[in-house]
Structure 1
Amino acid sequence: MNEQPKVTPDPRGQVIGTVEIKKIGNSSGIILPKDVLARMHVSVGDKLYATLTPDGGFRLTPHDPDFEKAMEVARRGMKRYHNALAELAK
């Protein structure tokens, strides 16, 4: 009998699916279920970014963390120089 291991929710979050590691040529890849792709709003060909978490795990996200950092710096600059930017926009 081929019994699947029971997946328990992570104490930090809810398990939304499992992935499978497969051999693809000389590399390995993970297979993401269709419902996981839908919840992440990604499709075949999109990029995912893997970042390390403080607890030693990793996180897959479609959002580029470097871009997010750059946008935060830009937002602070736009807030600080709002009046000058408004004058330049005239």
Structure 2
Amino acid sequence: MTDQKRERGVRETGASQLSPPVSASMKVRRVGNSLGVILPRDLLAALGVEEGDTVDVVQSEDGRIELTVVDREADDLMAMAEEVMAENRAVLRALAK
């Protein structure tokens, strides 16, 4: 996992982790004023996501599109850490000297 993804609290879910491999064809459909796809149940299960979860779509260096599942626990911990740092900014600056 890259440092950037670790900082954002992203858990990578690659094809090597899926057993057996999942493949699906999906139609692009109109959703309100946008376009979207509906992920099949087996793909959702392979990703380990449920309704309300956040999934990032990123393009890798080789041009592939990857779905990554945001790790809610890591996001929550990072938010708490940022809050503590913001509340104690003066103390942290003094300690850094």
TM-score by length of 2: 0.47
Structure with greater helix share of residues: 2
Point out which structure has higher relative CO (alpha carbons under 8 A, 6+ apart): 2
TM-score by length of 1: 0.50
